Amino acid sequence: MNPEAPKSTPLFREHPRSFETNRFVYPVVSRRSAGVSLGVNLNPDKVCNFDCIYCQVDRVSTSETRFVGRDQLLAELDHMLSLVTSGELFEHTRFRDTPAPLRRLNDIAFSGDGEPTTYRDFDEIVAACADVKRRHGLHDVKMVLITNASMFHRPAVQRGLAILDQNQGEIWAKLEAGTDAYYHLIERTTIPFQRILDNITAAAHVRPLVIQSLFMRVDGVPPSDVELTAFCDRLNEITAAGGKLALVQIYTVARRPAESNVTPLTDAEVDAIVELVRTRTGLPALGFYGASTL
């Protein structure tokens, strides 16, 4: 087992999108961030252009918050930054048992209940959040975009990515398939697989990207050796075209997914994919493990 990657615990499995009265900014202890991540939810309406079979967002019930209130979002971010940096957050029941090494603010993450780059004024909200971070003097705190890479070709998104680059930004782009058929099985979207590959390659020309890849069992069956080899081939094509990939995150299901036929890989299976990626691509890869029960 990879000693650097934490096991999934209840602390990592519970990522509610609300905190007390907040509607847009929520704190989580993130296993991949190894600390506290402040999530910024730009999709409170729970609308997404992917419908991933492993997603834990309940898209059946209607959210009572349909639109982003920018002033409220920024006020919530300002308040949450104060709570984390002062240590007051860890007096809250949900975070009282956070281990000492994880009681650190790692990042502000644009994530939430849908694809954040579908937000119409994405560049403007990223700039405004960067200003709040700057006012707190948190120059070393990252700004992370967790994304399916479907909108990178849009000018407002490209401007937003550039703002992230100037503010300790990291882009974590989803790539979870090697073939078109498997991509559509997992992501259930009308967006072509090639669009995702092209967008990741273009963005990786400008700055190094982190690739986030969730693999799972579907109807009890893990991804085939052929599929995983094709996945490595896609990574190699990105780097051969001049794209820079800083890390490949291999992880599995840690929270209850949308579909009951989706279950986690074993720790050994995650480790095997990590080793395959390292061997076939030469890229750094890190594994993150799932829940033993869901």
Task: Give me the amino acid identity at 26.
Answer: Y
Radius of gyration of the CA atoms of the chain, in A: 18
- Partners of residue 169 on adjacent β-strands: 143
Q: Can you tell me the distance from the alpha carbon of 100 to that of 143, in angstroms, rounded to the nearest whole number?
A: 22
Specify the pLDDT at position 254. Answer: 87
% of the chain residues with pLDDT over 70 = 89
Q: What is residue 218's three-state secondary structure?
A: strand
In whole numbers, what is the pLDDT of the chain averaged over residues?
91
CB 122 within 8 A of CB 116: yes
CA distances to 11, 34, 40, 117, 179 from 160, rounded to whole Å, are 31, 25, 14, 9, 29
Domains of the chain: 49-71+110-288 (3.20.20.70)
Q: Where are the alpha helices (DSSP H) in the chain?
A: 10-13, 70-86, 122-135, 155-165, 180-187, 193-206, 225-240, 267-281
Q: What is the pLDDT of residue 16?
A: 46
pLDDT of 30 strictly over 90: no
The per-residue pLDDT for range 86-125, each reduced to its tens digit, is 999 999 999 999 999 999 999 999 988 999 999 999 999 9
Indicate the residue type of 170. E
Q: List, in sequence order, every residue forming a beta bridge with 170; answer none if it has no partner.
A: 144
Q: How far apart are CA 42 and CA 44, in angstroms?
A: 6
Task: Work out the percent of the chain whose per-residue pLDDT is above 90.
Answer: 82
Residue with the two structure tokens 């900014």: 25
Distances (CA, A) of 191 to 57, 116, 134, 223: 20, 16, 36, 21
Give the position of tokens 């971010």. Answer: 77
Mean pLDDT of 13-40: 78
pTM of the model: 0.89
